[in-house]
Structures are given as structure tokens and as C-alpha cells.
A and B are shown apart, each in its own frame.
Chain A
Amino acid sequence: MIFEGLNEKFQNIFSQLKRKGKLSEKDIQEVNREIKMALLEADVNFKVVKQFTKNIGERAIGQEVLSSLTPGQQFIKIVKDEMTTLLGGEIERMDFVQGRQNVYMMVGLQGAGKTTTAAKLANLLRKEKKFKPLLVACDVYRPAAIKQLEILGDELKIDVYSEHDVKDPVGIAKRGMQKSIEGHYDLVIMDTAGRLQIDEALMDELVNIKEAINPTEILLTVDGMTGQESVNVANEFNRLLDISGVILTKLDGDTRGGAALSITYTIGKAIKYIGTGEKLTDIELFYPDRMASRILGMGDVLSFIDKAQSMMDDEKAKELEEKFRNQDFDLNDFLDQIKQIESMGSISSLLEMMPGANKKALKNVDLSGADTKKTEAIILSMTQEERHKPGIINASRRRRIALGSGTMVADVNRLLKGFEQSKKMMKQMSNPSMAKKGRMKLPFM
């Protein structure tokens, strides 16, 4: 297929290589051509792709691979290493300045996710670094932009500085700083209006805000679905503002995220965080090696483990492990799980990150957040016995449960099916042979 995943594509190429055992120069050229096409489909900038494949070809033909006993594996390693280097190598953390205020400025194209990310960051850093954050609303152009930030602040109980009848972003930024000093806020995040990098007047405005508030971080927010233009956008914002880092949003989609590669490569600035959903907790640190793995089809195991770990305390994990082993996992546990996982996206999106997860089967396991309330209502309408032994839930019980929970029988059916499927999936995942294959170790295994 034309637009099959980069993951699958690479997996295809390499499984062919593995079968052959040894690589010829021609093989490598062939592989490189495939990689090139795949990267282009992944929206990696054309020029970056050219250089990338050239580097790989040189390294591969030059040495290691041909003489290697396991050329396929070697090749994968080269590609992965090269890509990790491109993505920034070591993880770059934010610089948190001690003893003075941390002042961040969000910049980027229209609709990239600046306002949402500003709120996410304030929330995250309050939790992790115990900062006292202040959000400042410097977007005086987009209708209801100020209101949007205010609502988000309200939701998170984070203060927002705004001026409703003033059209002077530089002034607002300055007065926001003033307020932050008076109020002893040690983290200030400025939301600015989206703008095109070629809009001179508006880019000047950013330069002026920068001069006025002397930010410690200027974060370029980029939509993860961006195509070839990512290079020009990042380049121009960086040229005019000397940005300190990048945040890539909307990676909860099925975009291949080639922009990540293009941007870090072109401007040499690290991607610091990624946005993974519309909820205000949907933000994660960016890990170059994980991104490379994601692009190369190795599954985002590490992110998965991190997520699972941060959401699940050890005790619960042990308990669960027991239950899996004893085939004891029932609807009560299921409900527990769903509630825990709710705040980090759907179960299926988590499972999707697993290497070897069957994407088609996952499509039927539909347990996204919006259904949680319904799921909860349905399970709570069951007797304890039913929750423990869903097998006994026959048609008349289903009707009763539907009635009791204000849902439809079809909803009950769907839930039971979903439960069975995730049970199967989890069993599969805790199967040691597969765990080894995917080189993963879940906290509850």
C-alpha cells in the first residue's frame, strides 16, 4: 500500500534482509531507496532525507554491516543510532533556573497548540517542580483567545494575567511580569498569538516581547502533522528569536512525525516536550531514542512503561500481576484500570504503543475516555457475582443491567466484548515469549 506505516515498511525491509543473511552493496542501495521513500512519506524534509540516507549508506557499505554475522540487525542498529543522533542524541531537559524566575514564551504558527501547551506546562511543572505558575495572555488578536487561557487557568486553578481591552501585547507582557514579581510567581508562561514566520510586523512584535521580558525559554510549538515546511518555519523563528527548544504537539494522532527529525536537524535545537492529547495532562518529555524507535517500528515501549508506571502504584501492580497469573482479572479490576488509565488516554492508545500489538484487533477494543462514565455505570449495575464471573451474564441479565445503568443492551455487549478482548490482550502481553520478543518488561510482569 502507498501509505502504509513507516513502521511496517521498515519491518518489511528488514525482515527481507534478515532472511537473506548477508548484504550486498546493491542490497544497501535498495534498502536506502526504500528508507528514503518511507521517510518522505513520514514527512521528513527532503533534504534531510537525502543526507540521512547518504550517511547510512556510507556507514553500512563502509564496514560493520557486510562483514557482520547478522547484517539485518546491524543495519537496524545503524539506522536507529543515526536517527537518534539526528533527533538530538541525549535527552535535553529544560533548564530550570534557581533563584530567579523562569519565564517562558510560547511561539509558533496559528493553531499549533500554544495556548493548550502553555496550560499543560504550567500544570506539569507545578506538580513536578513545585513552581507557582502564572499564565500571561498576550494573544490580543484571535477571538476569545484570552478567554481560552482564562478558562484553562480556571480549570487548573492556575492564575492568569490578562487585560481585556488592551491591544498591546508587549505592554501586557511587561505588566504580567510586574504582577508575577509582586505575587512571587516563580514560573511565568506567556501565551502569544499564532503567526506566520513571514509576517514581519508580528515577528517584530515577538522580538519586542522577548526584549521586554527576557525569557529563560522560548518554546517553538509545532504541529506534529506538519509536512515539508517544518524546516522553513523552525528556521525563521529560530533566526529571529533564537528559540531555546521545540514542543511537538498532536502526536496522539497517527502522524509519523517526520517533522521531529527535520526540525532538530535543521536548527539544532532540542524538542523538549511532546503533546499527546487535548487533555491538560497530555504532555510528555521528548526522548530522541523513543522517537527513533517509534519511527522505526520498534514500538514505543519505554513511553508505555513510563506512563504505566507513573499511573500505577507498586502495590496495585503486584496485585494485578497476581491476577493475570491466576486468570483472576475481573470486571472490578477492569473498572479500576479504566479509571486509572482514563487520565492518560485510551487503553487502546496505550496498547497501540506495544510492539507486536495487533492493530486490527485493537480497533475493536474501544475504551476511550468518553466511555468511562458509561462503563462505570454499567459495571456498577452488575452484582458482585456478575462482575467476578462475567460468563454468567445472559440476555436477561444484560437487559437488567442496561436498564439499571441507563444504557442500551448493545452498550453492555460492547463492554463485555471489550473486557474479553483486553483480557486476551493482556494475557498475550504477559506471555514471556512475546515479552522477550518485544524486549519489554511491564511494571506488572
Chain B
Amino acid sequence: MELSLYERMRNKLLKTADNFKEKIENVMYMGSFDDDFFDELEETLILSDLGAQTSVKITESLRAKIKETRSKSKEEVMGFLKEILVEMVQVETEKPQLPTIMLVVGVNGVGKTTTIAKLSERYKKEGKKVVIAAADTFRAAAVEQLDEWARRVGVDIIKSTTGADPSSVIFDAIGAAKARKADILICDTAGRLHNKVNLMKELEKISRVINREGDGFSIHNLMVLDATTGQNAINQAKVFHDCVEIKGIVLTKLDGTAKGGIAISIIDEMQIPIEYVGIGEKSEDLIDFDPKKFVDLLFE
């Protein structure tokens, strides 16, 4: 009996289209913004990984706005909603002052190394001198991976062997960046889960080396976040930010079906801006973060 219940549920799950627009059209057809409407909205936001708390907060804001304006127009209400969201995700970004050192951090497999290739390509196209540092000396073929990207994009790479101390690679890289008069030094790091105390300490050490040796460079650390990630991303952001000051987030894999809604909760809570968005596996697949487009995407 129970199995059949699950079976039914399963089938239902598979059939439902997650298209908010359609659902909202249906709800709005009724002509009023009733509880059904707000429930649908909340559900849509949660399904985009915004998390229950943030979703409720947004829904409540909209409820208040509708009450205040007594709006009955569908377009207008969608407009309000988007305004609320855009305002939430809009945080002042601090353009890195060149020359700069970027330490790229994040949990395993989110796209750090690939993002570094993309950033290198972008800065190189702008005519900047880019040096990258292969400070993931842990994962199998991490150095080879970045090396291959350096070759493809055509930027200098400073590397050591697997098993070397990542701080010493960074130390060497800063020396090289100075000697070569680089505009940007981008440092790859090994993926690490934020709850691994030792690995976070290692990151702190790397960061100290940068602070100590990086005179003349501004420091602009980036955290890479996989758009598919759920609520755990909040912990990630907090712990990484505590460990090395994060200036901006790169949200990767937005070419997939995940909406990356968790980024909204992070921005809302921590006021760290998203700077770039990754939309593919190639070195050109990086775009500037655009709050409006990002919000639109949530309802597609």
C-alpha cells in the first residue's frame, strides 16, 4: 500500500513542469493574489534553492507590496517581485585595483580551475599580463589540468610538483608576478570541504603568504560556487569568508538546469557580490553577473 503511494507520488513528480510562469498564469487567471498564489511563489523560489527562510521573506515582502499598492495587475506584480529580488542580489562590486592577486577557493569540483582559465582568457583579451599559479598540489593531475589551460589560453604558469607545499608555490608565483610585471596573478587552490580544519588552516597560511609577500598588489579573493549546490553553500561561504576574505563569488554551471538560487541567500546574508557566472566548459564561457538576467532566469 505504501509502495503504491510512493509510486503515485513519483509519477506525479515526474509530470509536473517546473515552469513558474505557467503556474503563475494559472493562478493569476483567478484574478486575485490569494494564498494559492503565494504558496506557488514560495514553492518556485524553494525549488530554485533559495531556501525556505529566504523564500518566505521574499514572499512576505511581495505580499506587503501588493497590499500597499492594491495592485491587481499581473504584469505589475511580476514587476514588484523582480524588483524585490534584483534589489536583494545587487551588491556593490569592488573592481580589483591592478596589479592584483586573486586567490580562488571553493569546495571540491565546483569549477575553480576552469574558472581560472576563463578569467585568464578574459584579462588577456583586455591586454593584461596574466600569471597563474598551480597551488593545487594535492589532487591527481590538478597541475597538468591547469598547465593545459595555460597552454591553450597562452598565459604564464608557475607550478611545482604534486605534493609540494602550496604556500611555497604561491611564494614563488608572487616573485614571478613581480619580476614579470604581471597585472594579475590568479592562484588555483585544491578543492576542500570547509569543515576540514587542517585544510582550512592550509588556506589561511597561503593567504598569509600573499598578505606578506604581495606588496604593491591588491588582493581580490574569489569563491567559486556550483549553481547546483543546495543549502550547504551558506556554510561554505561563511567558513571560507572567515578564512580568507572573499571579495566576490563566481557562480558556475549556470548553463545547466539549476538556478543557483542559493547565491541569493548568500548575498542577502553576507553581502558578498556575485562577479561572474560560468556558463560552460570552455574558456570563453564566462559572463559578467547581471542581476536582472539572473532574476529572470529564476522564473523560466
Contact = CB atoms under 8 A, between A and B. Distances in A.
B197 A253 contact: no
Nearest to A250: B108
A370 B6 CA distance: 45
A141 B282 CA distance: 10
Nearest to B140: A151
Given A144-B148, A151-B140, A226 B10 contact: no
Given A196-B256, A254-B195, A223 B16 contact: no
Interface residues of B, number: 59
Contacts of B10: 265-268
Interface stretch (A229-237, A290-298, A327-335): A229-237
A366 interface: yes
A278 to B, nearest CB: 7
Interface stretch (B68-76, B90-98, B173-181, B231-239): B231-239
Contacts of A85: 2, 6
A414 to B, nearest CB: 11
Contacts of B232: 43, 225, 253-256
Interface string A118-155: 00000000000000000000000111110110111001
Contacts of B199: 368, 370
B144 interface: yes
Interface stretch (B19-27, B48-56, B80-88): B48-56
Interface stretch (A106-114, A211-219, A312-320, A393-401): A106-114
Nearest to A151: B140
Interface stretch (B120-128, B213-221, B222-230, B287-295): B222-230
Contacts of B235: 3, 254
Given A111-B109, A231-B13, A368 B228 contact: no
A228 B47 contact: yes
Contacts of A112: 109
Given A227-B258, A368-B198, A142 B145 contact: yes
Given A143-B149, A229-B49, A250-B108, A197 B228 contact: no
Interface string A397-426: 000000000000000000000000000000
Contacts of B77: none
Nearest to B280: A196
A228 B281 contact: no
B228 A223 contact: yes
Q: Which of under 10, 10 to 19, 20 to 34, or 35 or more describes the interface residues of A? A: 35 or more
Interface string B26-57: 00000000000000000100111101110000
A46 B107 contact: no
Contacts, number: 176
B13 A253 contact: no
B257 A196 contact: yes
A2 interface: yes
A128 to B, nearest CB: 23
A71 interface: no
Contacts of A110: 109, 111, 253, 281
Interface stretch (A34-42, A166-174, A381-389): A34-42
B197 A368 contact: yes
Contacts of A346: 196, 198
Interface in B232-270: 232-235, 253, 255-258, 261-262
B257 A232 contact: yes
Interface string B186-202: 00000001111111001
Contacts of B140: 147-148, 151-152, 155
A198 B148 contact: no
A47 B230 contact: no
A228 B231 CA distance: 9
A51 interface: yes
A252 interface: yes
B148 A143 contact: yes
Contacts of A47: 9, 12-13, 16
Given A41-B51, A109-B256, A227 B230 contact: yes
Contacts of A363: 197
Contacts of A370: 198-199, 202
Interface string A157-178: 0000000000000000000000
A342 interface: no
B228 A109 contact: yes
Contact of A48 (B13, B14, B43, B138): B13
Contacts of B148: 143-144
B13 A148 contact: no
A252 B199 CA distance: 13
A232 B49 CA distance: 13
Contacts of B78: none
Given A47-B16, A227-B262, A144 B144 contact: yes
Given A111-B108, A143-B149, A363-B197, A37 B2 contact: no
A299 interface: no
B9 A51 contact: yes
Chain A to chain B: the 9 pairs with minimum beta-carbon distance, closest first: A227-B230, A111-B109, A43-B230, A148-B141, A143-B148, A144-B145, A144-B144, A227-B49, A151-B140
Interface of A: 2-3, 37, 40-43, 45-48, 51, 55, 85-86, 109-113, 141-145, 147-148, 150-152, 155, 196-198, 223, 225-229, 231-233, 235, 250, 252-256, 258-259, 265-268, 278, 346, 348, 363, 366, 368-371
Given A40-B46, A147-B145, A196-B255, 14 more contacts: A3-B234, A43-B49, A47-B16, A109-B253, A111-B108, A196-B253, A223-B229, A225-B230, A227-B230, A227-B231, A228-B258, A229-B228, A254-B232, A265-B9
9 contacts: A41-B52, A109-B228, A144-B145, A223-B229, A225-B229, A227-B228, A227-B231, A229-B257, A254-B195
